[in-house]
């Protein structure tokens, strides 16, 4: 599961590459470490089809079952302490920090957001996976090359109202996540469960952002060919290298 990535290219360069017509926050600096539930730039499109870059919170809504199970555990703990529980209120206020990665695109929870208006591009220059194979769990950073050229995760997004943190209470915000798939050879050395779905070619970017139905874009949920990635850093929580 990818829960950390970097985006060290300028927003102007990102917008130019994907032909975004506007940027709703063009002052954000590069980010050497993007973590779950933080805000990061993504590219969406308007109803008229224009591409827009905007800042969105990382972590799609979790499933109803996940929230129900979490609220049930919380209620059980409160009852064990002899406290009365208003379960409906507890369920509504159960924090959902979000789901960052989407693997099972056959799930009814995710299919509603796989259509054209909810698809997005998530720019990055490198991404990190924990070393699970070696057992150290130290971050291993992957890029397309040492120069860390710009690429994009195949993302989805949605407006949503929920409780992200108890101290925030109920909030309405825009959320995003990105698809994952089987690990390719380079990633599998360290993390053999999955890798993000990465789009590099202009034709793939355009197809993902087109009005095509899911049936015509789902083949993009695939690993990069073996040999497409390189380990660019290890053991650090941020990839602060400035791409060439």
Q: Are 178 and 156 in contact (CB under 8 A)?
A: yes
Which residue bears the tokens 């990061």? 40
pLDDT of residue 111: 97
pLDDT of residue 92: 87
> What's the average model confidence in pLDDT over 3-25?
90
Q: Are 185 and 132 in contact (CB under 8 A)?
A: no
User: What's the pLDDT band for 23 if we cut at 50, 70, 90?
Assistant: confident
Q: What is the value of pTM for the model shown? A: 0.93
Spatial separation of the C-alpha atoms in residues 180 and 178, rounded to whole Å: 7
Domains (range + CATH), the chain: 5-61+100-234 (3.90.1680.10), 63-95 (no CATH)
User: What's the pLDDT band for 128 if we cut at 50, 70, 90?
Assistant: very high
The 3-class SS string of 103-148 reads CCCCCHHHHCCCCHHHEEEEEECEEEEECCCCCCCCEEEEECCCCC
Tokens matching residue 180: 């994952």
pLDDT tens figures, 181-238? 999 999 999 999 999 999 999 999 999 999 999 999 999 999 999 999 999 999 999 9
Q: pLDDT: is 167 or 60 the higher one?
A: 60
pLDDT of residue 243: 64
Instruction: Judge whether residue 3 has pLDDT over 90.
Output: yes
Count, residues in the chain:
244
pLDDT tens figures, 150-173? 999 999 999 999 899 888 888 999
Q: Kindly state the percentage of the chain with pLDDT values over 90.
A: 76
Helix (H, G, I), strand (E, B) or coil at 57: strand
């Amino acid at each position: 599961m990818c829960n950390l990535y970097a985006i060290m290219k300028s927003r102007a360069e990102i917008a130019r590459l994907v032909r975004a017509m506007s940027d709703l926050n063009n002052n954000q600096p590069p980010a050497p470490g993007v973590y779950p539930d933080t805000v990061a730039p993504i590219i969406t499109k308007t109803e008229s089809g224009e591409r827009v870059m905007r800042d969105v919170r990382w972590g799609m809504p979790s499933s109803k079952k996940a929230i129900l199970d979490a609220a049930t555990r919380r209620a059980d703990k409160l009852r064990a302490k002899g406290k009365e529980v208003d379960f409906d209120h507890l369920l509504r206020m159960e924090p959902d920090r979000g789901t960052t990665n989407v693997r099972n695109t056959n799930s009814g929870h995710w299919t509603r957001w796989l259509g054209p208006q909810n698809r997005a591009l998530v720019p990055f220059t490198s991404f990190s996976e924990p070393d699970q194979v070696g057992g150290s769990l130290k971050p291993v950073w992957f890029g397309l090359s040492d120069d860390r050229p710009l690429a994009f995760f195949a993302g989805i997004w949605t407006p949503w109202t929920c409780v992200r943190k108890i101290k925030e209470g109920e909030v309405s915000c825009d959320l995003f996540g990105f698809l994952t798939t089987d690990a390719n050879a380079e990633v599998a050395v360290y993390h053999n469960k999955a890798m993000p779905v990465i789009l590099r070619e202009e034709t793939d970017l355009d197809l993902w952002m087109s009005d095509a139905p899911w049936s015509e874009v789902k083949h993009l949920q695939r690993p990069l060919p073996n040999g497409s990635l390189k380990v660019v850093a290890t053991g650090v929580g941020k990839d602060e290298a400035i791409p060439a």
